[in-house]
Structure 1
Amino acid sequence: MADTTIKVSAETRDRLAALAAAGGTTIGAQVARLVEAQPTPEQIAERVAEGRRLLREHFGMTLTDPELDEGPNLLQRVYDIAAADARAKVAPRWRSA
């Protein structure tokens, strides 16, 4: 693969150099590592779709994609529902003791 040049500020270059040195690598390898860690919009969409598929397939979630898109803090809502379900299954044992 051919190398190329990118223009960055001196401060950014120095920061990249420090990160690369700390990681025992080159600035080019450090930039590649940073880029690989950042998903593209397409990769994010694929991950969201896969997460929704798993929620539906393994956890019986029935929310539609538009409902999921509209819901703020959806993951917290899913956790809250799961916690309530778990408490409902365990609570009768505590009360009868």
Structure 2
Amino acid sequence: MADATIKVSPDTRDRLAALAAARGTTIGAQVALLVEQQPTQEQIAERVAEGRRLLREHFGMTLTDSELDRGPDLLQRIYDVAAADTRAKLAPRRSA
């Protein structure tokens, strides 16, 4: 694959050079590593979908996608649902 040239500020170039030198690599390899570590929007969407699938399959999460999308406190909501489900399963059964 042919190399390409990108324009960055001198400060950015110097920072990339320092990062590359500290890791014993080139600026090009450092840029490639930085890019590889950043997921695309499509990859993020795939990870979110897979995470939700696993939560539903393995942990019995019952929240819908729209419920998950609405709340900034997603993790707390998941904990609350899981705790409620666990309490319901562990609650002593009353005889009729």
Q: Same fold (TM over 0.5)?
A: yes
What corresponds to 1:93 in structure 2?
none
Higher RCO (C-alpha 8 Å, min separation 6): 2
> In percent, how many aligned pairs have the same letter?
84
Q: Which runs of 5+ in 2 are unaligned?
A: 91-96
What corresponds to 1:66 in structure 2?
66
What corresponds to 1:33 in structure 2?
33
User: How big is the alpha-carbon RMSD for the aligned residues of Structure 1 and Structure 2?
Assistant: 2.1
Name the structure where helix makes up a greater proportion of residues.
Answer: 1
What corresponds to 2:75 in structure 1?
75
- Residue 17 of structure 1: CA displacement? 0.1
Instruction: Name the TM-score, length of structure 1 as normaliser.
Output: 0.82
What corresponds to 2:46 in structure 1?
46
Q: How many pairs align?
A: 91
What corresponds to 1:4 in structure 2?
4
- Residue 76 of structure 1: CA displacement? 2.5
Q: Which runs of 5+ in 1 are unaligned?
A: 91-97
What corresponds to 1:23 in structure 2?
23
What corresponds to 1:55 in structure 2?
55
